[in-house]
Amino acid sequence: MVEHNIEILDITFAALADPTRRAIIERLSDGEQTVSDLAAPFDMSLAAVSKHIHLLTRANLVSQRKEGRVRHCRLEPQTLSAATGWLDHYRHFWSEKFTALEKFLEDEASTRPYEPKQGKPKK
């Protein structure tokens, strides 16, 4: 089994659980942006968006740098890579299980002829 840092995965998936934070991640996939630029499309205060960005920063999904009074944010894809690795491991696991189930059902179907159920005779 692949070893994963559970604490990092927990914080990553918790951060990604919110649609606003996922939208921020999506916007940062186009490149670095200021906090104000990131906040623009949301119907919430700059302080509320900053809290979302802070949580993404704590999860190491986003990094920030300050230039004067302006904070710039950028995506940190290596953390997403760790989460993707965990998901890939379980995707492979379930794929194997579903393939085995499919084979079992095919084998069962080929060894037993199909017999339609007979309805009750009408009186």
CA distance 96 to 19: 31
Cβ count within 10 A of residue 123? 3
pLDDT value of residue 1:
41
Global pTM?
0.69
CA distance 52 to 34: 14
60, 76 contact by CB (below 8 A): yes
Domain with 71, as residue range(s), is 1-111
CATH code, 45: 1.10.10.10
pLDDT value of residue 72:
97
Asked if residue 83 belongs to a domain, the reply is yes
Asked if residue 57 belongs to a domain, the reply is yes
Indicate the pLDDT class of residue 50, thresholds 50, 70 and 90.
Answer: very high
